[in-house]
Every structure is written in C-alpha cells, then in structure tokens.
C-alpha cells in the first residue's frame, strides 16, 4: 500500500459516462481525494459514497476534487451514481490495474481495501486512511482535509 510521501502512480480509467479520465485530469484544478471501495450498492460502500456526496460542496470549496475507484464497470457505476445523486465520478477498474498500483487489492487478491488518499498536484501522497468497515474514519479524513485546505 502506498504511504505518505510516495509518488502516486499515473493512470487513465473509464468513468461512469464512458470517458477516459487520467490522474493529470483529476489534479488539474487542485488536490485529489482518491478513494477506493469494494463494490457499488453494498451497504457500507453506499454509506461512504453518500457521506462523500454530502461533503462534496465543502471539498470543491477548497479547490479539491474527489473520485471513487472500484472493480465494477461503467454501467454499474452509472446506475449507482444516478441512484444516490453522486456529484463526483466513479472509475471502472475491472482489471484492478490501479487498485494494484495503489496497493489496495484485498487479501490474496480478493476484493478491494477501503482506502482514501489525498494526492497533491505534484502527485505526492499527502495523507492516507485505511478503514475497511469504519466509514466514519474516511469521513473524518475528508473533513480534516477540507479544514486544512482552508474550509470550515
């Protein structure tokens, strides 16, 4: 798993609208909150996505961006995003290339760890939180990022 101070691996994935999105694209306007989650429509993943949705305006108010990555395809991501009115993109990593590059593949290659990274515009990991089931840790992480970047 990547740690604070590590360089964030470059990537390009397809979003829920079928468009290719790169790390450079996501960092164009400011720092990136990159969160990895196991699956669309599961209870914990839905709670996490909705918490991030509820903090989206705060995230954008400090010129940060947010994106979710999981191993479901764009059609699943599109349904998930629409159903829960998520204002941020979800990226398709069915081949788990980015999941593996960021070190968040589950034990023995099964599943995906719930990890959130803050990546600065120089592509350096500034912060990280790992909490497979405790969504509150990810929410607190995001609130702290927003506070430190000038919000609240």
Given a contact cutoff of 8 angstroms between Cβ atoms, the answer to whether 70 and 36 are in contact is yes
Candidates 45, 67, 98, 146; catalytic one: 45
Q: Which residues of 63-97 are buried (b: 16+ CB within 10 A; e: fewer)?
A: ebbbbbbbbbebebbbebbeeeebebbbbbbeebe
The encoded tokens of residue 130 equal 């790992």
For 7, other C-beta atoms within 10 Å of its C-beta total 11
Question: Is 45 in the active site?
Answer: yes
Active site residues: 45
């Amino acid at each position: 798993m990547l740690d604070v101070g590590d360089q964030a691996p470059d990537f390009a994935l397809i979003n829920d609208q079928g468009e290719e999105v790169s790390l450079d694209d996501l960092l164009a306007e400011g720092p990136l909150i990159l969160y990895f989650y196991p699956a669309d429509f599961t209870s914990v993943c839905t709670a996490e996505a909705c918490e991030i949705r509820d903090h989206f305006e705060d995230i954008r108010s400090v010129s940060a961006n947010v994106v979710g990555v999981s191993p479901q395809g764009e059609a699943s991501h599109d349904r998930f995003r629409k159903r829960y009115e998520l204002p941020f993109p979800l990226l398709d990593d069915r081949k788990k290339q980015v999941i593996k590059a960021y070190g968040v593949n589950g034990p023995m290659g099964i599943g995906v760890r719930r990890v959130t990274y803050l990546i600065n515009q120089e592509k350096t990991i500034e912060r990280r939180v790992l909490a497979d089931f405790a969504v509150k840790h990810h929410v607190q992480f995001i609130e702290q990022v927003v506070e430190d970047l000038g919000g609240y």
